[in-house]
Chain A
Amino acid sequence: KAGVTQTPRYLIKTRGQQVTLSCSPISGHRSVSWYQQTPGQGLQFLFEYFSETQRNKGNFPGRFSGRQFSNSRSEMNVSTLELGDSALYLCASSLSGRTGSYGNTIYFGEGSWLTVV
């Protein structure tokens, strides 16, 4: 079956702009979570959506937002981009929201590389 698909794969934005990243989860998966990966901070949790509702949110400023649609596809948006927002943004999906429970494997997409100049 198709894996988690993220678009775009690479993009370059200018400081102050905004960006929208898209994620299509594995078919049948209802939970989508987003992570930011940087060399300095590693992988950090941004937010999690389940059945169109944001269930959990990480410690990121309000410039970072997201949503999930009825078909479980998700988008994240970063407004007023800063240089420090340059990172690999990873989307992950799983069947349900019980992370870590047996059988509820979390699958990651290949990520969207964002460079802010």
Chain B
Amino acid sequence: GQQLNQSPQSMFIQEGEDVSMNCTSSSIFNTWLWYKQDPGEGPVLLIALYKAGELTSNGRLTAQFGITRKDSFLNISASIPSDVGIYFCAGPFGNTPLVFGKGTRLSVIA
């Protein structure tokens, strides 16, 4: 099946630092979604992107839909402890409502 490749797999950062993570695919996606999952919880949608080149912000989070439509980026500015969790990129592909990447696990050191 279609794979979404996320990097990095994990990252440890100091509180207050900015974070960047990305997601790539060998196929074109028409929608990119970024979810965050806290321990023991279901994923929560952070940002949805619907057009190539689109740049969207949600508070300290900013995501971009790559112009090739094969990648997307998520940035978190001035990280805080509650940013800890696993961040997933996802998108509809073929008959699959959502294909997910393997996630980026973020740890914030106070």
User: Would B42 and A111 count as touching, CB distance under 8 A?
Assistant: yes
B97 in contact (CB, < 8 A):
yes
Interface contact A56-B41, CB-CB below 8 Å: no
- CB–CB B45/A45 < 8 A: no
Whether A100 touches B92, Cβ cut-off 8 Å, given contacts A45-B97, A45-B99, is yes
Min CB–CB distance A19 → chain B (angstroms): 19
Partner of B101, one of A42, A97, A101, A109: A42
- Report the interface size for chain B: residues with CB under 8 A from the other chain: 26
Closest to B6 in A: A42
A109 near B42: Cβ-Cβ < 8 Å: yes
Give B100's nearest chain A residue, CB to CB: A43
- Looking at chain A, what size class is its interface with the partner chain? 20 to 34
The total of interchain contacts (Cβ-Cβ below 8 angstroms) comes to 65
A47-59 near B? 1/0 per residue, CB < 8 Å: 0100000011011
Q: Specify which chain B residues have a CB less than 8 angstroms from the CB of A100 in the assembled complex.
A: 30-31, 33, 48, 50, 91-92
Query: Which of A35, A56, A100, A106: most chain B Cβ within 10 A?
Result: A100
For the complex, is B98 an interface residue (Cβ under 8 Å from A)? yes
Structural contact, B41 and A110, CB atoms closer than 8 A: yes
B98 and A45 contact, CB distance less than 8 A: yes
Are B50 and A102 closer than 8 Å at their CB atoms?
Answer: yes
Contact B99 A108 (CB under 8 A): no
Q: Are A108 and B96 in contact (CB under 8 A)?
A: no
